[in-house]
Amino acid sequence: MQLSTRLPPTVQGQWVSAYDKRKELFMNQLIKEIQTLKQEKNAVILAHYYVDDSIQEIADYIGDSYYLSKLATEIDADIIVFCGVSFMGESAKILNPKKVVLLPEEHADCPMAHMVNKEKIEMIRREYPDTAVVCYINSTAELKMYADVCVTSANALKIVKALPNKNIFFIPDEHLGRFIASKLPEKYFIFHDGFCHVHTSITAKKVLELKKKYPDSEILVHPECPSDVVELGNYVGSTSGIIEYATKSESKEFIICTEMGILYELQKKNPNKTFYFPSEHPICVNMKKITLEKVRDALWKEEKKVEVSDEIREAALKPLNRMLELAK
């Protein structure tokens, strides 16, 4: 006779319920510890829209790269806990050298930040002497050293338009560069072949399939997406721009072409609207490496400090400051 090892449904339900309660108690305890440590150490938590919902819930400020970069210069705190990928923590440290900047997950990195090098920049400068090197903020501190100005998806168009240079070398993201170039035909753009693997996983075919299924929906696209996806957008802009557009729009359904972490803020501001994603997994795995436990431990131990040498900081500060100035 074969014996079943499966628990009866009622027992299974009780076990799951008990597990959920223990998990909830554990999470609540973590949040209390984080709040206590924040007060004791005069710390502030910054979080990008792409991190896990649980992190966004406990963050003092949530935003895109531009908002968080600007905010980092205005915060009155001794410690900044930056819940994002490494280039974000580096930028915060460059802009705030006297503050302690903690990155809860030191291995949370952005592959695109490493997709160009100084040798390529030097080659382009030799070939096009009047070129402005426009560096997307999604880049390493070392790369920013060789740029004339930094940009984000929220301010790139305004900044590039304001530059006196006709020749623009846009690094590292090709798709964002091509989107900006389409708006500024008077400029001559040189592109690099960098990309975001999350946004390039979103295809026009998948978007059109969703549009056919939900014909009344508006398509909102991040400009890191490929050009054939961008062309389908009712709106194309940064994560903060997408949230703002969806909130103001009278439409009730939207196809969102960016990383899924944005859904937390979209639903929070628009509980009666529906959002669809054209990819099953538009997820930045590096952003999702950050957990409540890692935030707690970063504050408690203060071990994962972002360090930038004086040489790199001084050189990288110039294009970051120029960005903040031109974006006003």
Tell me if 306 is assigned to some domain: no
For 143-199, write each residue's pLDDT tens digit: 999 999 999 999 999 999 999 999 999 999 999 999 999 999 999 999 999 999 999
Tell me if 152 is assigned to some domain: yes
For 13-46, write each residue's pLDDT tens digit: 554 565 577 778 888 999 999 999 999 999 999 9
The tokens for 319 are 């294009």
The reported pLDDT for the residue numbered 8 is 54
Check if the beta carbon of residue 223 is closer than 8 Å to that of residue 200. no
For 89-140, write each residue's pLDDT tens digit: 999 999 999 999 999 999 999 999 999 999 999 999 999 989 999 999 999 9
* Residues 163 and 149 placed together within one structural domain of the fold: yes
* Residues 216 and 174 placed together within one structural domain of the fold: no
Angle, CA 88 vertex, CA 293 and CA 173 arms, to 5°: 125
For 221-235, write each residue's pLDDT tens digit: 999 999 999 999 999
Q: CATH no. for residue 34?
A: 3.40.50.10800
The reported pLDDT for the residue numbered 3 is 45
Tell me if 102 is assigned to some domain: yes
pTM of the model: 0.90
The one-character DSSP state at 63 is: E
Tell me if 2 is assigned to some domain: no
3-class SS at 17? helix
Angle, CA 152 vertex, CA 87 and CA 308 arms, to 5°: 25
Q: Rounded mean pLDDT of the chain?
A: 93
